[in-house]
């Protein structure tokens, strides 16, 4: 099981911030990252590393969250360097393969941006318990009420989805163990075997999910759940420092974006 970006309990200024501040920061950072050039990317990387240090999260733990997405980004990288036209590199072509300066630059830049996005999101989930993310999200989405979306419902969906991750993971294990016990033999070393194992898991798992959700609905209704307004154990209160940080983030975002427009 991957321990992807799971909450790392620490006492740190980043952990103690209001979840809304962190969510806004990640959104702002993502916009900045997608807009910048190579120099901007380096600055953003520096910022991400600084926040990691502040949060007392070891850099190794953070980088490990990249492992499952690496194959995908390698593929992306090769697509960029192979299919970007431009000035050819001197020691090419080798056979039919042609690589350009622009392709190499773009490959590094785009893949670097995506990796940094993943890291930024991981810092959020590593420093904020998922329940706080859900509450923060609920508060941030409250304005959506004017278009008829209940932020309470959205937050409920998010937190239920997160709540059932470990349950379903355990269920998946027990299904696959039951299949192995009855002589199923999926060669875990071959791609074909892995895909086969997944198709055999999918049907029983989805049936179980439907049954579970039926029972869950009853349990929620029995405890008085109704769509719309509800209250929470914790009410979030923004401190002056939180307002200051949000202000600084928005200022930074505006400066970076306008600066980018002028260069």
Partner 1 sequence: MIRIQNLTFAYEADRPPALQALNLVINEGEYIALIGPNGCGKTTLIRHLNALLLPSTGEVWVDDFNTRGAKGLQEIRSRVGMVFQNPDNQIIGMSVEEDVAFGPGNLGLPSGEVRRRVDQALATVGLTGLEKRSPHTLSGGQKQLLAIAGLLAMDPKFIVLDEPTSSLDPAGKRNVLALLQKLQGQGMGIIHVTHNIDEAALADRVLVMDKGELIADGNPADILSRVEWLKSLGLAPPRITELMWQLQQVGEDVDSSIFTIEGAVNEISALLTELRNSTHDYMSRKVGGHV
Minimum CB separation of residue 168 from partner 1 in Å reads 10
225 in contact with partner 1 (CB under 8 A)? yes
Binds partner 1 by CB under 8 A, chosen from 42, 93, 198, 221: 221
Binds partner 1 by CB under 8 A, chosen from 52, 122, 127, 131: 131
Peptide bond into 93 cis (omega under 30): yes
Q: Are 245 and 17 in contact (CB under 8 A)?
A: yes
194 in contact with partner 1 (CB under 8 A)? no
Q: Are 136 and 20 in contact (CB under 8 A)?
A: yes
162 in contact with partner 1 (CB under 8 A)? yes
- Please give the structure tokens belonging to residue 192: 């074909």
166 in contact with partner 1 (CB under 8 A)? yes
Please name the residues in contact with 92: beta carbons below 8 A apart, sequence gap of 6 or more: 98, 99
Q: Are 8 and 57 in contact (CB under 8 A)?
A: yes
Please name the residues in contact with 65: beta carbons below 8 A apart, sequence gap of 6 or more: 4, 5, 118, 119, 122
What's the DSSP call for residue 87?
A: S
170 in contact with partner 1 (CB under 8 A)? yes
Binds partner 1 by CB under 8 A, chosen from 35, 84, 110, 130: 130
Binds partner 1 by CB under 8 A, chosen from 67, 145, 234, 260: 234
223 in contact with partner 1 (CB under 8 A)? yes
Binding stretches for partner 1 (CB under 8 A)? 129-131, 134, 159-160, 162-163, 166-167, 170, 212, 215-216, 218-226, 229-235
């Amino acid at each position: 099981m991957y321990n992807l970006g799971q909450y790392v309990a620490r006492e740190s200024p980043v952990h103690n911030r209001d979840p809304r501040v962190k969510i806004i920061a990640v959104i702002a950072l993502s916009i900045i990252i997608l807009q910048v050039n190579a120099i901007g990317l380096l600055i953003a990387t520096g910022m991400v590393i600084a926040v990691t240090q502040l949060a007392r999260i070891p850099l190794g733990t953070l980088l490990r969250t990249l492992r499952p997405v690496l194959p995908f980004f390698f593929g992306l990288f090769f697509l960029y360097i192979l299919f970007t036209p431009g000035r050819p590199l001197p020691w090419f072509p080798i056979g039919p393969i042609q690589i350009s300066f622009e392709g190499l630059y773009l490959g590094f830049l785009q893949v670097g941006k995506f990796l940094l996005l993943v890291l930024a999101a991981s810092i959020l989930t590593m420093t904020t318990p998922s329940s706080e993310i859900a509450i923060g999200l609920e508060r941030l989405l409250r304005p959506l009420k004017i278009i008829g979306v209940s932020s309470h419902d959205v937050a409920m969906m998010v937190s239920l989805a997160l709540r059932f991750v470990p349950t379903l993971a355990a269920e998946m294990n027990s299904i696959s163990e039951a299949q192995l016990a009855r002589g199923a033999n999926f060669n875990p070393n071959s791609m074909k075997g892995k895909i086969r194992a997944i198709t055999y898991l999918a049907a029983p798992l989805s049936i179980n999910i439907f049954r579970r959700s039926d029972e869950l609905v009853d349990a929620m209704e029995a405890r008085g759940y109704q769509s719309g307004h509800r209250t929470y154990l914790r009410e979030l209160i923004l401190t002056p420092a939180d307002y200051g940080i949000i202000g600084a983030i928005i200022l930074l975002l505006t400066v970076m974006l306008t600066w980018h427009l002028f260069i």
